[in-house]
Amino acid sequence: MHMSLHTNEKKFKCDFPDCHYESCRNNLLQRHMKVHTGEKPFKCDWPGCEFRTSNKNGLRHHNYRHTGEKPWKCDWVNSDGNACNWSFRQSTHLKAHRLKHTGERPYRCEWPNAITVSSPRLHASLTG
């Protein structure tokens, strides 16, 4: 079981019709299944907020909207020694932001020959 984390072997598969989700950990599959069942046991306790989610991480990230906290800090320093002071609520946003510093464009599409910094932007280029 532990070795499957290192080999990325995905033994746990969602059996919901037309779903192709796979995971190397059972707890991640169990969390995923709540997407299909609609179960959202985690509720925001901020006054007046009705947000609910299927997992603790989703609730933690949601709470950043209320608190204004942006825990993911860019640590980029350019060649002049100037530091980037941007921060983000989600690690994926920081990852995409860092690509702006490096100039890397990892998401490529042959039609319409788009190269972007994030897969959602690639998807947007395909769907118009």
Domain that holds residue 20: 2-37
> Residue 70: CB partners within 8 Å, gap ≥ 6?
64, 87, 88, 89
The pLDDT of 26-54, averaged and rounded, is: 93
Same domain? For 77 and 119 the reply is yes
**Domain stop point among 51, 69, 87:** 69
- For the chain, the average pLDDT equals 83
Q: Would you call 116 helix, strand, or coil by DSSP?
A: strand
Q: Distance between CA 28 and CA 21 in Å, rounded?
A: 10
Q: Is the pLDDT reported for residue 59 higher than 60?
A: yes
pLDDT digits (tens, 9 = 90+) for 4-18: 556 677 889 999 999
Same domain? For 90 and 121 the reply is yes
